[in-house]
């Protein structure tokens, strides 16, 4: 979730851009940079680290120019270095660009259109800058940008300026938000409204597939590749800065739950291979022949990430037939684990700094295992010390309780299980079916989010209880664990989770009218058994609500507290089923007036034992 800020007007741009970057710090970043255009001269300043380091490099010598662009980078392609920081130039340094998103086919663009070009960074963005500049040699800037974007696969929110056309900024959007701020003889551009509210309340939001020409006294919006101007009126935004950071949501937690519609696609984009019915995991650093020799997988994690690993265990064993263990990092490090050179160990962590997971990873590496990371933060310690791995591309999570990182972890574990499955006995047809269902997940997430008000009513009803039991079976048992975990974290209600088949082995003793239950009973091969468990709960007069598959009318005879989720294949059910439980926990916490984004006694990244 990088940050974009642009300015064109009658004032010196430098301080406006720097202050805009500060307003975007909440999005998370690892480096920053700005570029100003004064007549026909570009001045670019970049630094690794926080905005203070960028200002220190300026050292009071503010570059001249009344237009410019600036960026905070959250690394995806290429490490955290000054050379990889934005803005980036084209080959002749006539064009400069900042970009949010991922250019999936940047390698193909390099090979097909930019064979003789030399690049100073490892980024996909610089490739786009070179391509735009190439077309700009023969075409106006708008057409050059459009010509390049037509060849791009992926997502982008971008701003482009050119020495040849120093009176404009070109902006374009597909999958990555952009907002235009309307001022008096000045216009602004940003990745959200937050940095704009200091200067104006009049905001125009670009939609996907739109391009804008921004000048100091007007803006012109078009569909990419179409010269018919779109008439868009500015909206008056009444948010304050904090509300703007949250996109109008009351808490970061609920914003991040809603982010899952978009960031899930970021996790799988460019990694699906429909023609092979498989997945391509860039950065895995293991050849297919080496991967085929793996006879055991260990998934290391703590907290929410551990529950994603429990789902991963089901996935690897079901799809790839590889024995798999999910291990809690804080326990694993104190054992003497049996590992050999046919063992693959994944360290799974949002922050990439979880100490217990990191130390366990080091032990596994010392004993000769293949060690790979699945993390969110580029350049984190786990990422650096692993011999390869995959970034989940969830963007920064500012709420302590994880939501979107969890679903993206599930996405990546599914892709790895698909990859290993195809290396073994999985058929092309099965692999292709999984790919098609994965591509439908964002739309199905959206259908669940539309039930937010209904889920809130159920949450308010159950928030009065002091205890809660979560039940699931099979691949959904880890989701019961995660749902219980979220309720504890956010609302401080005591809860625990069990595999529903264990009820008779002690849990039934707890059930009565004051001990409610949350049950996952979606239609899969354990559905009938789960229905039997619900009958037991009902007989003991415990209140309960159910996560059920859309169209399941049978469940209505048991309770009216039902949250329906769209049908998907069984291995993908956890991705959908966890979202209503996230919303349930969130609304319980709101009702009880808890500090939702900062629960007591908890930290986002656990870097001490």
CB 160 within 8 A of CB 175: no
Lowest mean per-residue pLDDT among 245-249, 328-332, 406-410: 245-249
**pLDDT tens-digit profile of 169-226?**
999 998 788 999 999 999 999 988 889 988 999 999 998 899 999 999 999 999 999 9
Is 261 among the domain residues? yes
Same domain? 197 vs 83: yes
Residues 296 and 181 reside in one and the same domain: no
Q: Angle at Cα 72 formed by Cα 71 and Cα 77, nearest 5°?
A: 100
Q: What is the 3-state secondary structure (H, E, C) of 211-268?
A: EEEECCCCEEEEECCCCCEECCCCEECCCCHHHHHCCCCCCHHHHHHHHHHHHHHHHH
Please state, in angstroms and rounded to a whole number, the distance separating the CA atoms of residues 355 and 329.
8
Same domain, 423 and 507: no
Task: List the strands of the sheet with 517-520, edge to edge.
Answer: 494-499, 467-472, 517-520, 544-549, 562-565
At 564, which helix (H) or strand (E)? strand 562-565
Given 420, 447, 474, which residue is the final one in a domain?
A: 447
Q: Are residues 443 and 455 in the same domain?
A: no
pLDDT tens digits, 255-296: 999 999 989 998 998 899 999 999 999 899 999 999 999 999
Domain contains 220: yes
Q: How far is CA 43 from the centre of its chain?
A: 33
**What's the start-to-end Cα distance of the chain, in Å?**
30
Among 245, 267, 300, the domain boundary falls at 245
pLDDT at residue number 435: 97
409 and 514 belong to one structural domain: no
Would 232 be classed as within a structural domain? yes
Give the integer Cα–Cα distance in Å for 420 and 408.
18
**Domain presence at residue 267:** yes
Higher-confidence residue of 46 and 104: namely: 46
CA 84 to chain CA centroid, nearest Å: 21
* Per-residue pLDDT tens digits for 497-547: 999 988 889 888 998 999 999 999 999 999 999 999 999 999 899 999 999
User: Is the residue at 348 inside a domain?
Assistant: yes
Catalytic residue flag (residue 302): no
Q: How many C-beta atoms lie closer than 10 Å to residue 385's C-beta?
A: 15
In a domain, 601, yes or no: no
In terms of DSSP bridges, do strands 156-162 and 169-174 run parallel, antiparallel, or are they unpaired?
antiparallel
Give the residue-averaged pLDDT of 385-411.
92
CA–CA gap between residue 383 and residue 153 (Å, rounded):
26
**Per-residue tokens: 513:** 């009218």
What φ, ψ does residue 227 adopt, rounded to 5°? Answer: -95, 5
Task: Write b or e for each residue in 120-156: b if 16 or more Cβ atoms lie within 10 A of its Cβ, otherwise e.
Answer: ebebbbbbbbbbbbbbbeeebbbebbbbbbeebebbb
Closest CA to 65 of 10, 22, 21, 3: 10
Same domain, 204 and 64: yes
pLDDT digit string, tens, across residues 58-69: 999 999 999 999
For helices 428-449 and 252-268, what crossing angle results, to 10°? 160
Q: Tens digit of pLDDT for each residue in 591-600? A: 999 999 989 8
- The chain-wide mean pLDDT, for the chain, equals 93
Question: Is residue 609 pLDDT above 60, yes or no?
Answer: no
Instruction: Supply the pLDDT for residue 89.
Output: 97
> What is the domain-level CATH number for residue 112?
3.60.20.10
- Last residue within a domain, chosen from 198, 222, 245: 245
Q: Do 91 and 52 share a structural domain?
A: yes
Question: Is cis: bond before 87, omega within 30 of 0?
Answer: yes
Check whether residue 405 and residue 433 sit in a common domain.
Answer: yes
**pLDDT attached to residue 602:** 81
592 and 576 Cβ atoms separated by less than 8 Å? no
Residues 402 and 500 in one domain: no
**Are residues 241 and 258 both part of a single domain?**
no
Backbone angles phi, psi at 18, to 5 degrees: -65, -45
Q: Is 262 part of any domain?
A: yes
For residues 230 and 130, state if they share a domain: yes
* Residue 604 C-beta-side C-alpha neighbours within 13 Å: 17
Check if 604 is active-site. yes
Q: What is residue 554's three-state secondary structure? A: helix
Domain that holds residue 485: 451-591
- The pTM score is 0.78
Is pLDDT above 80 for 385? Answer: yes
Whether residue 607 is contained in a domain is answered as no
pLDDT at 1 > cutoff 70? no
Asked if residue 420 and residue 524 are part of one domain, the reply reads no
Question: Active-site residue among 83, 367, 591, 604?
Answer: 604
pLDDT beyond 80 at 12? yes
Domains: count for the chain? 3
Q: How many helices (H) and strands (E) does the chain have?
A: 18, 27
Residue tagged active-site, from 2, 302, 309, 588: 2
> Which helix H or strand E contains 573, and what residues bound it?
helix 573-591
Task: Residue 21: name the closest of 45, 40, 4 by CA.
Answer: 4
| 249: exposed, middle or buried (Cβ count in 10 Å: 0-12, 13-18, 19+) | middle
Tell whether the model's pLDDT for residue 482 goes beyond 80.
Answer: yes
160 within 8 A of 141, measured Cβ to Cβ: yes
Determine what percent of the chain is predicted with pLDDT higher than 70. Answer: 99
- Phi first, then psi, for residue 115 (nearest 5°) are -60, -40
Q: Quote the pLDDT of residue 192.
A: 84
pLDDT of amino acid 497: 96
Q: Which two tokens stand for residue 104?
A: 């999936």
Q: Is the pLDDT of residue 110 over 70?
A: yes
Question: How much is the pLDDT for 336?
Answer: 85
CATH of the domain at 482: 3.40.50.10490
- How buried is residue 295: exposed, middle or buried, by Cβ count under 10 Å (0-12/13-18/19+)? exposed
């Amino acid at each position: 979730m990088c940050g974009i800020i642009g300015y064109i007007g009658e004032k010196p741009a430098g301080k406006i851009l720097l202050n805009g970057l500060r307003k975007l710090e909440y999005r998370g970043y690892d480096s920053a940079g700005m570029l100003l255009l004064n007549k026909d001269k570009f001045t670019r300043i970049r630094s690794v680290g926080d905005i203070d380091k960028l200002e220190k490099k300026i050292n009071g010598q503010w570059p001249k120019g009344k237009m410019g662009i600036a960026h905070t980078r959250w690394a995806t392609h290429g490490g955290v270095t000054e050379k990889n920081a934005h803005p980036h130039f084209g080959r002749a340094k006539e064009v400069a660009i900042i970009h949010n998103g991922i250019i999936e086919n940047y390698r193909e663009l390099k090979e097909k259109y930019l064979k003789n070009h030399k690049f100073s960074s490892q980024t996909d963005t610089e490739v786009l800058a070179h391509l735009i500049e190439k077309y700009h040699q023969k075409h106006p800037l708008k057409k050059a940008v459009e010509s390049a974007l037509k060849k791009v696969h992926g997502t982008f929110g971008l701003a482009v300026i050119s020495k040849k056309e120093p009176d404009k900024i070109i902006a374009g959007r597909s999958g990555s938000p952009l907002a235009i701020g309307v001022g008096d003889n000045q216009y602004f551009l940003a990745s959200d409204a937050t940095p704009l509210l200091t200067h104006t309340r009049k905001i125009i939001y670009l939609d996907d597939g739109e391009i804008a020409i921004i000048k100091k006294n007007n803006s012109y919006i078009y569909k990419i590749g179409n010269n018919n101007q779109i008439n868009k009126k500015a909206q008056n935004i009444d948010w304050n800065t904090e509300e703007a950071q949250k996109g109008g949501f009351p808490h970061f937690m609920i914003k991040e739950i809603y982010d899952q519609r978009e960031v899930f696609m970021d996790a799988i984009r460019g990694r699906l291979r429909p023609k092979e019915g498989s997945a391509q995991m860039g950065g895995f650093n293991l050849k297919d022949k080496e991967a085929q020799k793996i006879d055991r997988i260990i998934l290391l994690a703590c907290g929410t990430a551990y529950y994603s690993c429990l789902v991963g265990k089901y996935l690897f064993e079901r799809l790839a037939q590889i024995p798999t263990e999910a291990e809690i990092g804080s326990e694993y490090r104190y054992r003497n684990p049996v590992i050999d050179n046919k063992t693959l160990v994944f360290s799974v962590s949002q922050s990439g700094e979880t100490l217990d997971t990191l130390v366990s990873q080091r032990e596994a590496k010392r004993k000769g295992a293949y060690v790979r990371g699945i993390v969110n933060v580029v350049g984190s310690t786990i990422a650096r010390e692993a011999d390869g791995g995959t970034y989940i591309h969830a963007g920064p999570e500012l709420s302590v309780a994880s939501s979107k990182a969890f679903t993206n972890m599930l996405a990546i574990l599914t892709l790895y299980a698909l990859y290993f499955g195809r290396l073994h006995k999985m058929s092309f047809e099965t692999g292709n079916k999984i790919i098609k269902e994965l591509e439908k997940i964002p739309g199905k997430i959206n259908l669940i989010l539309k039930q937010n008000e209904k889920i809130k009513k159920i949450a308010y009803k159950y928030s009065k209880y002091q205890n809660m039991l979560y039940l699931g079976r099979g691949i959904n048992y880890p989701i019961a664990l995660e749902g219980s975990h979220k309720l504890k974290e956010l609302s401080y209600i005591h809860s625990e989770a069990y595999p529903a088949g264990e009820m008779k082995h002690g849990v039934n003793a707890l059930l009565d009218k004051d001990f409610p239950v949350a049950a996952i009973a979606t239609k899969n091969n354990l559905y009938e058994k789960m229905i039997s468990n619900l009958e037991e709960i009902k007989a003991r007069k415990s209140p309960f609500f159910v996560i059920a598959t859309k169209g399941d009318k049978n469940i209505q005879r048991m309770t009216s507290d039902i949250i329906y989720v769209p049908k998907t294949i069984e291995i993908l059910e956890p991705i959908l089923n966890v979202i209503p439980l996230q919303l349930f926990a969130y609304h319980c916490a709101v009702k009880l007036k808890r500090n939702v984004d900062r629960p007591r006694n908890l930290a986002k990244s656990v870097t001490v034992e």
